[in-house]
Amino acid sequence: MMGKELEQLRNRVDEINLQLLSLINERAELVQEIGRVKETQGVYRYDPVRERAMLDLIKENNNGPFENSTIEHMFKEIFKAGLELQKDDHRKALLVSRKKKSENTIVDINGEQIGNGQPHLVFGPCAVESYEQVASVAEAVKAKGLKLLRGGAFKPRTSPYDFQGLGVEGLKILKRVADEYGLAVISEIVSPNDMETAVQYLDVIQIGARNMQNFELLKAAGQINKPVLLKRGMSATIEEFINAAEYIMAQGNGQIILCERGIRTYEKATRNTLDITAVPILKQETHLPVMVDVTHSTGRKDLLLPAAKAALAIGADGVMAEVHPDPAVALSDSAQQMDLNQFDQFMNALKLPSQIQV
């Protein structure tokens, strides 16, 4: 009876499949064990000499019907899978990764819950220039029911002859304005030495694009007890960006907001190229909130609104943009900052349902 014979053969194949499965997994366990031994000895995992010896032994004993080349191909796949297993064992999931923590991290800035599903907006001048200048933006920000103010006190500039910021004086201005208007302030710190001073004045420490891979600065930011807004480096891949955040979190500070601010490409129509899909990728790969800086990414006032809408539509937790009471006389980024009128129009056009107008 053909039917019966076929069934028996198939049953035998099933049995062998299960034997292969258990043998492959037994092999995997041994490979993992070897990986652990190698780790204690500080030996590199991939060992081509050993692989060659294993393949030779297998081929010497191959009596067919498979060709040696077919056998070699199949065993190479098994070797590769074993190596991957050792790697995974070794390289544990990053602390910032979704793999490590599936729930969204919410960064609390004086009650503003960044990452709670609502959009959060950060406005303020490129650089802190005077108390009056910051206060007039603060007034406009507060009038819109917003809570977050930005302003650079330490300005990393392309030319050493350009305005470098007011330094600690600038931090003091920010603190005074924050207290007077009930706002939280975000400002960039460029040196690990300034970190301790900065936390006395600021609510959020910004690490700028130029410093995304300043590892000592990242480590210093990881040791403070304040949220950090980390901007993507100008030429950083998403993987490098995520690893920069890992530097901060590895030191114990998990209050991190990622900020896409455009990357350098060959395109000259905008100051940088806003990598809008970085937002959902970062949201998938990490559990951290993600913001988009529409000013430095576009460098064009006519693109601030569409870029902000796109950012929120694609899932950003917030948007940052620069506002100056008189951009024409600004000491930095004069062309791309909104004046107060434009800020008003921007806010009206953005039409956030959750926006509390006071």
Residue 188 sits in the site that holds ligand PEP (CB under 6 A): yes
3-class secondary-structure state, position 286: strand
Q: What number of other Cβ atoms are within 10 A of residue 29's Cβ? A: 10
Q: Of these partners, ligand PEP, Mn ion, none, which one is at the site of residue 188 (CB under 5 to 8 Å by kind)?
A: ligand PEP
Residue 120 sits in the site that holds ligand PEP (CB under 6 A): no
Buried b (16+ CB within 10 A) or exposed e, 232-265: bbeebebeebbbbbbbbbbeebbbbbbbbbbbee
Work out how close the CB of 188 gets to ligand PEP at its nearest, in angstroms, rounded to a whole number. Answer: 6
Classify residue 356 by its DSSP letter.
P
Which of 287, 296, 301, 324 binds ligand PEP (CB under 6 A)? It is 296
Residue 333 sits in the site that holds Mn ion (CB under 5 A): yes
Task: Please report which helix (H) or strand (E) contains residue 205, including its range.
Answer: strand 204-207
Count of positions on this chain that bind ligand PEP (CB under 6 A): 10
By the 8 A CB rule, do 342 and 308 touch? no
Residue 209 sits in the site that holds ligand PEP (CB under 6 A): yes
First to last CA, the chain: 87
Which of 94, 126, 148, 340 binds Mn ion (CB under 5 A)? It is 126
- Distance, in Å, from the CA atom of 303 to the CA atom of 300, rounded to the nearest integer, reads 6
Q: Of these partners, Mn ion, ligand PEP, none, which one is at the site of residue 144 (CB under 5 to 8 Å by kind)?
A: none
Nearer to ligand PEP, 147 or 296 (CB): 296
Nearer to ligand PEP, 119 or 152 (CB): 152
The contact pattern for ligand PEP, residues 315-344, with x = CB under 6 A and - = no contact, is ------------------------------
Classify residue 195 by its DSSP letter.
H
Q: Which residues bind ligand PEP (CB under 6 A)?
A: 126, 152, 188, 208-210, 231, 261, 293, 296
